[in-house]
Amino acid sequence: MYTFSSRLKTFSFVLMILGVLGIGYSFFTAPKTVEDVEKILAADSHHGGHGSHEGHAHEITTGEANATEVHGQDATEHAIHDKIEHKENLEKHVTGSHEVDSVGQPAHDTAHAEPVVAAHGATDHHADEALTGAGHNDAHHEHLEHVLHQLQNKPWAAVYVAAIFFMLISLGALAFYAIQNAAQAGWSPVLFRVMEGISAYLIPGAIIFFVLLLLGVFHVHHLFIWMDPEVVAEDHLIQGKSGYLNATFFIIRAVIFLGGWILYRQYARKNSLLQDDANDNLYYKKNFKAAATFLVFFIVSESIMSWDWIMSVDPHWYSTLFGWYVFASFFVSGITAIAMVTLYLKAKGYLEFVNTSHIHDLAKFMFGISVFWTYLWFSQFMLMWYADIPEEVTYFVTRIEHYNLPFFGMVVMNFVLPVIILINTDFKRLSWIVVLAGIIILCGHYIDFYNMIMPATVGDQWFIGAGEIGAILFFFGLFIFVVFTSLTKAPLLAKHNPYIEESKHFHY
Amino acid sequence: MSSHYEAPIRKPLIIGDKNYHDVTVDVARPVEGRANKQWWIAFTIALAAFLWGVGCVAYTVGTGIGTWGSNKTVGWAWDITNFVWWVGIGHAGTLISAVLLLFRQKWRMAINRSAEAMTIFSVIQAAMFPVFHMGRPWLAYWVMPVPNQFGSLWVNFNSPLLWDVFAISTYLSVSLVFWWTGLLPDFAMLRDRAITPFTKRVYSILSFGWSGRAKDWQRFEEVSLVLAGLATPLVLSVHTIVSFDFATSVIPGWHTTILPPYFVAGAIFSGFAMVNTLLIIMRKVSNLENYITIQHIELMNIVIMITGSIVGTAYITELFVAWYSGVEYEQYAFLNRATGPYWWSYWLMMTCNVISPQVMWFKKIRTSIMASFIISIVVNIGMWFERFVIIVTSLHRDYLPSSWTMFQPTFVDAGFYIGTIGFFFVLFLLYSRSFPVIAQAEVKSIMKTSSEKYKKLHAAHDNHSHSEHNH
């Protein structure tokens, strides 16, 4: 039996406390009013800032960043500039709308659905208005309001990214566990208890995440702009999706998915423990069937989950590949977590039968799925970049413009480095190499999720500060606490699994 | 590689009371014996179809591409449909030999040789379409980036059609090398058994002087592993690049990011179905039922079921996102598929690809040879229609209603397709008479862990030792 070392337990509490402090600080320092924002922007421009605040006097949003590169603060200049650009890019997007919703989607960014001429007319009207002084003030005020919403979103988004990331790591480990069961793998049963331990985090993780979704539905935070009736009233694209994107159905889906995953986890764990004392393979067979059923449920729920909880923060954007891309991201993270927890327990002398061959196999999966993630990342990115269709390419335009380093940096972290580090057979058997690669992969995939959520919620106001790091620390601490507590509940070797002997003698 | 211990719960992969020599004899028999009448009948039919196809191609090249049913709107139809279909079929071979090797699936050993042969023969069929669907196939060499007298005029590397050239040619070369390396010990076996000087000579040349020393085997295994590691991303990238032909475009119904992995899943799906079709016949006519067992067929059916479900998920994803996108062109493209003039092909595809693999959830069906055979053919019909639906229904009605049209294939379209099927079977029938269709060297390597005979021995031994261990 494993005993939770008191040092690790203390460490997890320290992480949680530090995390809460960081999260609290970020909420406390988030601006409350437009005046606060003005101060922050003024301070920022003194220090040079990091974003394009100068250009921000005019609206830049996901939907129009490419069409409205704004170069000055002077509203007149903008308006003229806009007007010219529009005449040149008549077929392009509706831009320059000052009807800004809570987080900055242009309220009628519907270029691809509305007749171009009408849209153009609207822009002209706006441009004329902006020429007047009143228009200038309005514009400035609305800009400030927009930044205010982004900055208010920031602590929420930080918590949201960390919450979904750690929950999905646990789900990734659970999916891996189900695959190992369904595939009748002979090498991995000695690791089953580790996987079960990691999947234990799914329960608290899912509950916290569900609360975050509920807070969105009750308008406590505004990460999902389609939940804002004012936005929807003016955005006919979102109106078109409201049959799917509505709070009730959204919550029902979340309950089904989270509930289904937890149900499988609890059922599989129960059978796995019962199999320890069994004389036949009844519980093994039950788990085999449960794994196959879960995997069917998983492929469907996972796809829809990714549309709901990640893709819908950009409600104008869509990609058919998205669900599988998200899957690859958390699946590799889940496998990495399994490898790292295994190495920790092995180093503490708890996993008698785990040898370097098991680590080698896990490292191969880390390597292979990292490449698979890159394949999907590239497929999604390249196809949109290549076709350059305005309504979908904006997704990458905003990321490349405002998130250049995280966006391309994660490709280095999630692809280049794991491939270089883990291609060597001997290296895959060295603990410190696997841990090194694992840390890079986990950080890289956190940034991947960061890149998915942040551009739509905080725009160019992103920064990895107290809130983000605090949220990571809090959920990391909680993850350690829950996972290692769960590991103490049962022996670390799954006895009487029909493949356990194969697994104990596994050598590659 | 893996341990010698095998869980008793695993079923034997070689049934009957076989020893090493039996394997050799069983694998060599079809090669050393004489062809029977049925073989000649099948071969004649395949050859006739092939020659008819040659005639159709000659007619196309001589007269012009206008002999086909393609038109100004639907510029791609049966040619590309058949191309993608054949490439897709070819994927299972590499999947079985490479991916299943990486996953240490011992059951691959009885089927990998034929699956790879199938890969190579179907990629050859596929490779003909890119050439003969050209208006000026005699200038096909211009797709190669070679220095020339036109001021060194180069190809544009931005086109997925050019990537296709590299993908297909690399894929064919690597598959061929992978296949041939695996054949060396088996050709050596045939060489050593040969009675006539002629066959001795032939198999001596083919086996490259393989003598089976320890060092040779060690390197052989390492090469196989490296090639498997290379072939796996290759197999994914080849069909991905094929999917880019469509997905990089701006055509509603084509431009969708899911196409790369979904084409690959579809390729595995149709490829395994084809392997099943061929092996169910082969195990019977070549008396290999002890090696290609019901369990092999069941496992292939399970792969078909899994990939079929992935393809089904992708269909539903596409439908959902078409609605979700709010783009009326995208929405219409799918409405047109389901209710337009080609509705029958869409529903045929849906039935064959989404419903038929789901029956495999029933053990009774997936362990029935007859049912597996029928479903394997149904799947390949469905996958042909999948490509047809994607290509034709997206083209015949797109942005401008004034360009809407229909597509009607001609006998030349059909003749070329029939010709490739004929050619495929000509090659496969010749192969099955002259090549060792089961990798006997590999099968022998699992003899002691996974054959019925040794499993019985182990069981007897284990019961004995267990009673000692327990106390």
* pLDDT averaged over every residue in chain A: 84
Higher pLDDT, A242 or B2: A242
Q: Is B465 on the interface with A (CB under 8 A)?
A: no
Q: Which pair of structure tokens corresponds to residue B343?
A: 């509705």
Give the chain A residue whose CA is nearest to the CA of B232: A368
Q: Is the pLDDT of residue A506 over 80?
A: yes
For residue A343, what are the CA distances in angstroms to A3, A181, A421, A436?
16, 21, 17, 12
Place of tokens 């503490």: A348
Q: Give DSSP secondary structure letters for B234-271.
A: HHHHHHHHHHHHHHTS--TTT--TTHHHHHHHHHHHHH
Helices (H) and strands (E) in chain A, counts: 20, 0
Q: Residue B86: CB partners within 8 Å, gap ≥ 6?
A: B122, B123, B125, B126, B129, B420, B424
Q: Residue A46: CB partners within 8 Å, gap ≥ 6?
A: none
* Predicted pLDDT at A116: 39
* Predicted pLDDT at B17: 86
Q: Is the pLDDT of residue A93 over 50?
A: no
Q: Is A502 on the interface with B (CB under 8 A)?
A: yes
Residues in A touching B299 (Cβ below 8 Å): none
Could you give the CA distance from residue B337 to residue B341 in angstroms, rounded to a whole number? 8
Question: pLDDT confidence of A108, banded at 50, 70, 90?
Answer: very low
* Predicted pLDDT at B471: 40
* Predicted pLDDT at A145: 83
Q: Is there a contact between A323 and B317 if contact means CB atoms under 8 Å apart?
A: yes
Could you give the CA distance from residue A477 to residue A488 in angstroms, rounded to a whole number? 17
Q: Give DSSP secondary structure letters for B372-407.
A: HHHHHHHHHHHHHHHHHIIIIIHHHS-S-GGG----
To the nearest 10 degrees (0 to 180), the angle between helices A404-411 and A431-457 is: 150
Residues in A touching B314 (Cβ below 8 Å): 320
Widest Cα–Cα separation across chain A: 85
Could you give the CA distance from residue A231 to residue A226 in angstroms, rounded to a whole number? 7
Q: Which pair of structure tokens corresponds to residue A108?
A: 């009628």
Which of B5, B317, B325 has its CB closest to that of A303?
B317
Lowest model confidence (mean pLDDT) among A9-23, A153-167, B7-21 = B7-21
Q: Give DSSP secondary structure letters for A366-399.
A: HHHHHHHHHHHHHHHHHHHHHH--HHHHHHHHHH
Q: Please state the rounded mean pLDDT for residues A330-359.
A: 94
For residue B274, what are the CA distances in angstroms to A215, A463, B39, B119, B127?
52, 53, 19, 10, 18
Could you give the CA distance from residue B211 to residue B215 in angstroms, rounded to a whole number? 10
Could you give the CA distance from residue B188 to residue B210 in angstroms, rounded to a whole number? 6
pLDDT in tens, A176-215: 999 999 999 999 999 999 999 999 999 999 999 999 999 9
* Predicted pLDDT at A136: 66
pLDDT in tens, A206-241: 999 999 999 999 999 889 999 988 888 888 899 999
Contact yes or no for A83/A124 (Cβ under 8 A): yes
* Predicted pLDDT at B302: 95
* Predicted pLDDT at A46: 61
Q: Which pair of structure tokens corresponds to residue B237?
A: 């990238």
Which of A281, A379, A391 has its CB closest to that of B257?
A379
Could you give the CA distance from residue A448 to residue A445 in angstroms, rounded to a whole number? 5
Q: Report which DSSP code applies to B360.
A: G
Q: Write phi, then psi, for B14 (nearest 5 degrees).
A: -120, 115
List the alpha helices (DSSP H) in B64-159.
Answer: 78-94, 100-102, 112-132
Residue of B222, B257, B330, B446 to mutate for A, most A C-beta atoms under 10 A: B257
Q: Is the pLDDT of residue A119 over 50?
A: no
Q: Is the pLDDT of residue A64 over 80?
A: no
Measured in angstroms, the CA of B413 and the nearest CA of chain A are apart by 30
Using the Cα atoms of residue B278, residue B281, residue B287 and residue B288 in order, give the sign of their dihedral: positive
Could you give the CA distance from residue A310 to residue B313 in angstroms, rounded to a whole number? 19
* Predicted pLDDT at B427: 96
* Predicted pLDDT at A86: 43
* Predicted pLDDT at A283: 93
Could you give the CA distance from residue A48 to residue B38 in angstroms, rounded to a whole number? 84
Q: Is A495 on the interface with B (CB under 8 A)?
A: no
Residue whose C-alpha is closest to residue B187's, from B27, B33, B14: B27
Which of A303, A371, A382 has its CB closest to that of B233?
A371
* Predicted pLDDT at A88: 42
Q: Classify A47 as helix, strand or coil.
A: coil
- In tens digits, chain B (471 residues) has pLDDT values of 444 688 888 898 999 888 899 999 999 999 998 889 999 999 999 999 999 999 999 999 999 999 999 999 999 999 999 999 999 999 888 888 899 999 989 999 999 999 999 999 999 999 999 999 999 999 999 999 999 999 889 999 999 999 999 999 999 999 999 999 999 999 999 999 998 999 999 999 999 999 999 999 999 999 999 999 999 999 999 999 999 999 999 999 999 999 999 999 999 999 999 999 999 999 999 999 999 999 999 999 999 999 999 999 999 999 999 999 989 999 999 999 999 999 999 999 999 999 999 999 999 999 999 999 999 999 999 999 999 999 999 999 999 999 999 999 999 999 999 999 999 999 999 999 999 999 999 999 988 888 888 888 888 876 665 544 444
Q: Which pair of structure tokens corresponds to residue A477?
A: 């601490």
For residue B9, what are the CA distances in angstroms to A498, B47, B220, B452?
7, 46, 31, 12
